[in-house]
């Protein structure tokens, strides 16, 4: 009768989204730096829009998926 609910608190959802957002911005930053290194410059507006879209999509994926289970598999420091 007492089954655990799959609902997450809003704070936990926000934390997951923020982690995904930061990961997306990190990936976008690396991509942008590599494009400069290989002399294929991305225009500023296109780079900003692409970075924001990538960051938001990574944030949504992190919110929906069970990223906490992934972090449980890492060894403790």
DSSP track, 27-45: HHHHHHHHHHHTT-PPPHH
In a domain, 75, yes or no: no
pLDDT of residue 55: 92
In a domain, 27, yes or no: yes
In a domain, 3, yes or no: no
pLDDT of residue 3: 47
In a domain, 8, yes or no: no
Residue 2, pLDDT > 50, answer no
- pLDDT tens for 32-75 read 888 888 888 888 899 889 899 999 998 898 888 866 676 677 77
- Contact criterion met (CB below 8 Å) for 20 and 62: yes
CA distances from 3 to 6, 52, 60, 66, 68 (A): 9, 38, 26, 18, 20
Q: How confident is the model at residue 11 (pLDDT cuts 50, 70, 90)?
A: confident
Total tally of structural domains belonging to the chain: 1
In a domain, 26, yes or no: yes
In a domain, 40, yes or no: yes
Range of the domain at 24: 18-70
In a domain, 1, yes or no: no
């Amino acid at each position: 009768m007492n089954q655990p609910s799959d609902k997450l608190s809003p704070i936990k959802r926000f934390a997951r989204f923020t982690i995904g957002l930061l990961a997306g911005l990190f990936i976008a930053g690396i991509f942008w730096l590599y494009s400069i290194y290989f002399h294929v410059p991305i225009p500023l507006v296109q780079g900003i829009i692409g970075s924001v879209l990538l960051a938001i999509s990574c944030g949504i994926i992190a919110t929906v998926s069970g990223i906490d289970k992934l972090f449980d598999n890492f060894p403790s420091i």
